[in-house]
Structure 1
Amino acid sequence: MEVLSVKRQSLWGPVRDFATCRGIAKGPVFIVASGSSAKDFPLQRFADIPMITLNGAISMFEGSGIRPFFYVCTDTGFPLQQPDLYASALSLSRRLALWPDEIEAAQTSTSAEIYPLTKASRSTLYESAFNPQPDVVRSREFWRSRSRTLGFSKDLSAGYFDARTVAYAALQIAYHVGFTQVFLVGVDLTQAAGRFYETAGRAISPCGLDDYFESRILPSMKLMADRVVDERFSVYNLSQTSRIPDAVIPKVSVEQAEDIIFSGLSF
């Protein structure tokens, strides 16, 4: 009923269910995040490859002529803290993944397809132990209460699992829409290094990466690496300074990424 309410009240027109975009894509995709290493990514070199971008990383697309395949924002404070970047996201992106409240409160028009985000339900003991839904991969550590909120959703109709980094939501969207090779850009997860777009004179949004890296971010990435990544779905990290260990998500150079995409190699 919540999604139906959004459809009636949104100033943007029709709001779509995630089921309507399942399996619409294939091949490689770049997930462009806001870590400081993203400033070195040659965006135009991969202009023909779909891009999913997050929060303030939309600034890389301004004036580029490249429209993100998806824009994802899970930070409810971001539209108020960075209104100009948020407006750019609404204007430039082909699809938006946002909270229902953000959709209802929107005052700016957009031609993008709009998909309301919902969180996957907390696992019951039975779901943690037996994982009865193959498209909802849940942590098996059912004896730990916190672990019952960890998982990976292959079908966003069932909601997504929040790892306290929007990049993890984007990974679930990439799987949902059908991409098979995912390349992470700017997923440094280093709070002290800041975001590449937070230059002098620009507002700085709060950051809690250090608070959640060990308890939520890294366990979620490990779960994905162990139980989701396979011959059909691979993930690579272009950030050489990322806190995600190479054993969890392998680090590759831009040249290696090109080889994977255009030559069919793997690393």
Structure 2
Amino acid sequence: MLRIEARGEQRWLVGQDLEVCLQDFAHSWGSVTGPVLLLASGPSANEFPLHRYRSLPVVAMNGSIVRCVEEGIRPFYYLCDDPNFVIGRSALALMGVSHGEHLAMSLDVLQAIHSADATALSGKKIYLLERVNRQDGRAVMSDRAYAWSIRNDDELISNFSLLRRKPNRIGFSLNLKRGYFGSRTIPFGALQLVCHLAFRQVFVVGMDLRQGGGRFYEKGEAALPSSLDEDFEQYILPSFALMARKILPRTGMQVFNLSSVSRMPERVIPKITLQRLDELLGVEPGASTQTAPSTGQ
């Protein structure tokens, strides 16, 4: 089994025939400028001309790595926080590990990857994705007690309710050194990551959020189960609404949705066309982007 060892100020990922010094989120905070693409796995991701925007940093997650590999693009970050994805789609997860410049993953995901290929993580730049209020995968406080404890926190922004439990699970982290809020969908974790890094113009691709639509890289009975329909109203939509209401005005971060069929309401995250994307990027319509944003890593 993999474990985390503290050695002085560093943390190491240690297991049989593996020792990797973990990257520190404190060192990546505020380290970038410019726009970024978040590449999710909805069917509309297949329609996006990724090659035209190949100079922009891309944050890939789960199976969306397929599009990056198809276009010969190395994602700036590859995210995964679901060990069931690794177990069910180990080839895709290993593809993400192989191609991602930086990896952001939970410990149980790293364990699943190590079980699939004991050599895959060696030499990689790995950031440990840890949920807020979790230690060894278990809650330290009740959700309500935790939400109350951070009610005046400048970096962990949460809902709080005395009457209902579920609102206390909704939040947004401005500092991934202190963990992230799950929200039951990986694009929300990616949004917390790019906010932490200081990207302030974010374009989300393939965030359809439609359970019946599936994922662009799988079809039919071979598709992995999804709980989007169960989670959307209770967790996903309230999380994005909190971000739109409390985080975007405070940070100046702009988030745009490039999926015209997305279930996310436009009043929460505005939908834009490719023409509007080109206008925001300052490029001629249909032309490829020329210069990549500056990064400090």
Report SS of the residue matched to 2:71: coil
Q: Go from structure 1 to structure 2 and tell me whether the alpha carbon gap of 1:12 and 1:60 turns closer, same or farther (over 3 Å shift).
A: farther
Specify the SS of the correspondent of 1:9: strand
74-83 vs 30-39, which moves further: 74-83
Larger radius of gyration: 2
Aligned to 2:21, what secondary structure does the other structure show?
A: coil
Match of 1:116 in 2: 128
Query: CA contact under 8 A between 2:150 and 2:158: conserved in structure 1?
Result: no
The aligned residue for residue 4 of structure 1 is: 5
Which of 219, 224, 236 is residue 238 of structure 2 equivalent to? Answer: 219
Distance across 1 between alignment mates of 2:4 and 2:277: 38
User: How has the CA–CA distance of structure 1 residues 137 and 87 changed in structure 2, closer, same or farther, with 3 Å as cutoff?
Assistant: same
The TM-score with structure 2 as length reference comes to 0.82
Q: How much has 1:128 moved relative to structure 2?
A: 4.1
Partner of 2:182: 162
In structure 2, give the amino acid aligned to 1:113: K
SS at match of 1:90: helix
Alpha carbons of structure 1 residues 226 and 128: separation in structure 2 relative to 1, 3 Å = farther
Residue 138 of structure 2: aligned partner: none
Cα shift at 1:204: 1.7
Change beyond 3 A, Cα 1:141–1:59:
same
Find out whether 1:94 has 2:104 as its counterpart. no
Deviations along 1:161-202, one digit per CA (max 9) or x if unpaired, are 0110001000000101110011110000000011001047x9
Cα deviation digits, residues 112-147 of structure 1 (max 9, x gap)? 310111111265558549732111111143432211
The structure-2 alpha-carbon separation of the partners of 1:164 and 1:8, relative to structure 1 and needing over 3 Å to count, comes to closer
Structure 1 stretches of at least 4 aligned residues deviating more than 6 Å after TM superposition: none
Q: 2:12, 2:22 within 8 Å by CA — same for their partners in 1? A: yes
Contact 2:13-2:19 within 8 A present in 1 as well: no
User: Counterparts of 2:27 and 2:184 in 1: how far apart (Å)?
Assistant: 26
Q: Provide the C-alpha distance between the structure 1 equivalents of 2:247 and 2:19, rounded to a whole number of angstroms.
A: 34
Superposed CA deviations along residues 182-226 of structure 1, whole A, max 9, x for unmatched, are: 1110000000011001047x9421111001000000000100000
1:170-181 to 2 correspondences below 5 Å: 170-181=190-201
Measure the CA separation in 2 of the matches of 1:178 and 1:65: 26
- After superposition, the Cα gap between the structure-2 partners of 1:194 and 1:147, relative to the gap in structure 1 and judged at 3 Å, is same
Aligned to 1:134: 154
Residue identity opposite 1:195 in structure 2: R
C-alpha contact (below 8 Å) 2:41/2:216 kept by paired residues: yes
Distance between the aligned counterparts of 2:227 and 2:278, measured in 1? 33
- Residue in 1 aligned with 2:71? 64
- Structure 1 unaligned segments of length 5 or more: list them: none
Q: Distance in 2 between matches of 1:206 and 1:88?
A: 21
Please state if 1:18 is matched with 2:29.
no
TM-score, normalised to structure 1's length? 0.90
CA RMSD of aligned residues (A): 2.1
Gaps of 5+ in 2: 134-141, 284-297
- Cα distance change on mapping 1:8 and 1:57 into 2, 3 Å: closer
CA gap of 1:103–1:126, structure 2 versus 1, over 3 A, is closer
Asked if structure 2 preserves the Cα contact closer than 8 Å seen for 1:9 and 1:104, the reply is no
Once residues 30 and 99 of structure 1 are traced to their aligned partners in structure 2, the CA distance between those partners, rounded to angstroms, is: 22
Compute the displacement of 1:3 (Å).
4.0
Taking only the aligned residue pairs, the percentage that are identical comes to 36
Q: Residue in 2 aligned with 1:240?
A: 260
Q: Contact 2:147/2:169 (CA < 8 Å) preserved in 1?
A: no
What is the one-letter code of the residue matched to 1:40?
E
